[in-house]
Structure 1
């Protein structure tokens, strides 16, 4: 089984589920200084679903703008 481990991702519900000051800071502590857009997560999912990934197994692909996952 493979998986994608993402950092913060901007979603339309973010502003309605967080205080304004948290929304303004959302994702700023990541290397690119902003949350990912949903479309930026699509490429690794598409790659894992393609025949090109037929020999990939047990992988965790991090999509975190360069911030290490532990």
Structure 2
């Protein structure tokens, strides 16, 4: 990521210069923390829920039925 210019060194840290799509939330978490990380519990929404909690709530919502929903 450094060689491609996606990350640049600034002071004592690194800065993303553009959006970057990771293969998983854990890959993103590991990149940010610099160690193996479970992104499903590391990432949090502004309301304090973890990514896993958000994902579970999203998946529990029943899909719309196009034949009965208008």
TM-score when normalising by structure 2:
0.30
Could you say which structure has the greater relative contact order, defined with CA pairs below 8 angstroms and 6 or more residues apart? 1
Larger radius of gyration: 2
TM-score when normalising by structure 1:
0.30
